[in-house]
Amino acid sequence: MRYALTLIASSLIVGCTSVTSESLSEAEVNAIEDRIQAHHPDLSYSQQRAVTELVVRALDNMVFVEGGTFMMGEFGVPCEPGSEELCHADIWPDNDDLHEVTLDDFYLSRYETTLGDFDLYRAVMGKAPYAPELRSREDRQHLFEPNLPAWTKEWQEVKDYCLWVGELASKAVDLPTEAQWEYAARNRGENALYATNNGQWIRGVNSPGDDGVLKTLPVDSYPPNPLGIHHLTSNSAEWINDWYSKTYYQESPGMNPQGPDAGETKVIRSGGFRTSDSANTTILRDNIPPSASSYIQDQGFRCAVH
């Protein structure tokens, strides 16, 4: 009798603490739990549950993007309202070479990776919280709200985060390629200049208000683009899988381009909150070294499933 009661109590505990998912079956969630226990056997039960929730949340937040063909790069905007003559949308020359790209289906995260999830990953990997001198100050607590975009320092660390999620999920999770990012930002390759709900930039409505304060915002602050993806511009600049080359658009293969084989800097997309409104476009591309000297507030990332 005591043994039977123990079994019943155990089943009730499991039932009460089971992680639920919007997109995964119970069996799939259980498989994730098993992989987490195998990869991280020294974590406490509460830590394993938190990691399970992170992985399930990452998969639930993946937006399906049907593949297709589009013209990647500077597509031009009317030089004047109503004009048929097209002018460049920005001053950056490395996106001027319009070229045809075809992509397979993929998934892209609905949100930028949050500070809370990145903190948990780093803790699981035995790393101390970054920016401890700021975190300890009461007047800087607002910078570390868990739903803000993650601060980052190294391209490899953010790539490792996506690969770690993929390993625990048994999915091909990685950083998006540059072509995937632009295709999704432009609503499957439309000539959408801004990755907002309507392709326009309206301060305080679908982009940050003009209050003179430069800061990152919670990852779900403004309406998503038509695919359902939030903040592909205006919040945090985002690491991309590709190495950068200023001539790559002239050399890019047409099918599923992956970027150059090597390079000195990595592509980042989305201007982030420090970029002017007119430059926060879906075609803007920049590049930075793969490692910085410290963690940077407006340099984030999101994962994809290839």
Q: Residue 149 and residue 175: Cα distance in Å, rounded? A: 15
What pLDDT, on a 0 to 100 scale, did the predictor assign at position 1?
38
| Residue range 232-250, pLDDT digits in tens | 987 899 999 999 999 999 9
What tokens does 157 get?
């660390």
Whole-number average pLDDT of the chain: 90
- 23-32, 41-50, 212-221, 256-265: lowest mean pLDDT where? 212-221
Least confident range from 25-39, 85-99, 223-237: namely: 85-99
DSSP calls for 141-162: GGGG-TTSBPPEEEHHHHHHHH
Between 80-89, 110-119, 176-185, 283-292, the lowest mean confidence (pLDDT) is in: 80-89
Q: What is the pLDDT of residue 211?
A: 62
Share of the chain above pLDDT 90, in %: 72
Q: What is the pLDDT of residue 5?
A: 33
Q: What whole-number percentage of the chain has pLDDT above 70?
A: 92
Question: CA-CA distance, 141 to 18, in Å (whole number)?
Answer: 32
CA dist., res. 194 & res. 178, Å (int)? 16
pLDDT digits (tens, 9 = 90+) for 119-174: 999 999 999 999 999 899 988 888 999 999 999 999 999 999 999 999 999 999 99
Cβ-contact 301, 239 below 8 angstroms = yes
Other CB atoms within a 10 A radius of the CB of residue 230 amount to: 22
Angle among Cα 20, 300, 269 to the nearest 5 degrees reads 115
- Which tokens hold the place of 112? 């930028």
Q: Residues with Cβ < 8 Å from 54, sequence gap 6 or more?
A: 117, 120, 121, 165
Q: What is the mean pLDDT of residues 197-205?
A: 86
Measured between alpha carbons, how far apart are the two ends of the chain, in Å? 52
The tokens describing 35, both together, are 């992989």
DSSP state of 196: S
pTM value surpassing 0.85 = yes
Give me the DSSP letters along 232-246: SSSS-EEEEEEEP-T
Which has more pLDDT, 27 or 208?
Answer: 27
- Residue 213 has what pLDDT? 63
Cα separation of 55 and 41, whole Å? 16
Task: For the chain, list the strands marked E by DSSP.
Answer: 62-65, 68-72, 77-78, 86-87, 99-103, 106-109, 152-154, 173-174, 237-243, 266-269, 285-288, 291-296, 299-300, 304-305
**CA pair distance 76, 210, nearest whole angstrom:** 27
Q: What would the pLDDT profile of 56-110 be if each residue is shown by its tens digit?
A: 999 999 999 999 999 999 998 888 888 888 888 877 888 899 999 999 999 999 9
pLDDT surpasses 70 at 203: yes
Lowest mean pLDDT among 74-78, 114-118, 222-226: 74-78
Query: Residue 12: pLDDT above 80?
Result: no
Residue 93 · residue 82 · CB < 8 Å: no
**How much is the pLDDT for 16?**
40
Q: What phi and psi values does residue 210 have, to the nearest 5 degrees? A: -90, 75
Which of helix, strand or coil describes residue 55? helix
